[in-house]
């Protein structure tokens, strides 16, 4: 298993940039995912990192440092529709050829005008 | 493609009643999962399956049973519902468990046990 920590809530202004951090502790790291979840809806996949560095996808970027057990999700040019919870999830090796994906508790982002 | 479909979407149960949540996926995925999501707790894995006819326990399996008789279906059963099982349940599937295999979620099932 692993401990995954991310801030509970954040607020940012429309048009601005926000960074959501995630720290984790795991013994068999096999990738880190970010999901977006709007209230009352299912989580949807945003990004995946398995090697150190930055992955960019339009307005969204995700960074990983395996040595530090640290990732962040960067959202640029914030829009009102970006108000949602952002879930950090870590996959690690759980033995017997099996991997498990464990989710953090999520960061609720509110975008204000 | 419907993706991952869960039924029912909403259900109210009395304590001690039983029910089954149905999950179907049309992506030919090998792996399927059941999660529950509670306020302040995040998504927690109940049971999962790595292929037809197989099941395994996740983080919070007590009070639940599962079956994977067909590759496309994964059933979650509550034999004797308890108020602590009031939650939102998400079914999910993935092609595998290797690096990069994304998990796709169903729309969720809201269960209230009174």
Work out the pLDDT band at B6, boundaries 50, 70, 90.
very high
For residue B42, the chain A residues in CB contact (below 8 A) are 87, 103-106
- SS3 of B83, please? helix
Work out the pLDDT band at B35, boundaries 50, 70, 90.
very high
Average pLDDT over every residue of B7-35: 96
Statement: residue B1 has pLDDT above 90: no
Q: State the DSSP code for A80.
A: G
Put simply, whether A29 touches B (Cβ < 8 Å) is: no
Which percentage of chain B shows pLDDT scores above 90?
Answer: 84
For residue A42, the chain B residues in CB contact (below 8 A) are 90, 105-108
CA distances from A29 to A17, A98, B80, B98 (A): 29, 12, 37, 12
Put simply, whether A43 touches B (Cβ < 8 Å) is: yes
Give Cα A37 to chain centroid, integer Å: 11
Give Cα B71 to chain centroid, integer Å: 14
**What's residue B98's pLDDT?**
66
Q: Which of B41, B50, B108 sits opposite A105 (nearest CB)?
A: B41
Statement: residue B100 has pLDDT above 70: no
Flag residues of chain A having pLDDT under 50. 1
**What's residue A32's pLDDT?**
94
**What's residue A26's pLDDT?**
86
Work out the pLDDT band at B42, boundaries 50, 70, 90.
confident
Put simply, whether A83 touches B (Cβ < 8 Å) is: no
Neighbours of B47 (CB within 10 A): 23
**What's residue B14's pLDDT?**
97
């Amino acid at each position: 298993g692993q401990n995954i920590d991310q801030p509970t809530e954040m607020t940012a202004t429309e048009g601005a940039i926000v960074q959501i951090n995630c720290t984790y502790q795991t013994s068999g790291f096999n990738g880190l995912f970010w999901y977006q979840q709007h209230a009352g809806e299912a989580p949807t996949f945003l990004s995946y990192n398995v090697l150190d560095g930055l992955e960019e996808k339009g307005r969204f970027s995700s960074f990983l440092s395996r040595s530090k057990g640290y990732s962040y999700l960067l959202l640029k040019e914030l829009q009102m529709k970006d108000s949602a919870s952002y879930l950090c999830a870590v996959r690690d090796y759980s033995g017997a050829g099996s991997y498990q994906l464990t989710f953090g508790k999520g960061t609720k982002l509110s975008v204000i005008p | 493609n419907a993706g991952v479909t869960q039924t029912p979407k909403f259900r109210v149960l009395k304590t001690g009643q039983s029910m089954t949540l149905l999950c179907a996926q049309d992506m030919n995925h090998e792996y399927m999962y059941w999660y529950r999501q509670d306020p302040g707790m995040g998504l927690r894995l109940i049971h999962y399956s790595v292929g037809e006819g197989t099941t395994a326990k996740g983080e919070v399996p007590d009070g639940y049973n599962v079956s994977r008789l067909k590759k496309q279906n994964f059933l979650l059963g509550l034999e004797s519902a308890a108020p602590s099982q009031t939650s939102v349940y998400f079914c999910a599937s993935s092609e595998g468990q290797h690096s990069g295999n994304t998990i796709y979620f169903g729309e969720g099932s809201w269960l209230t046990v009174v």
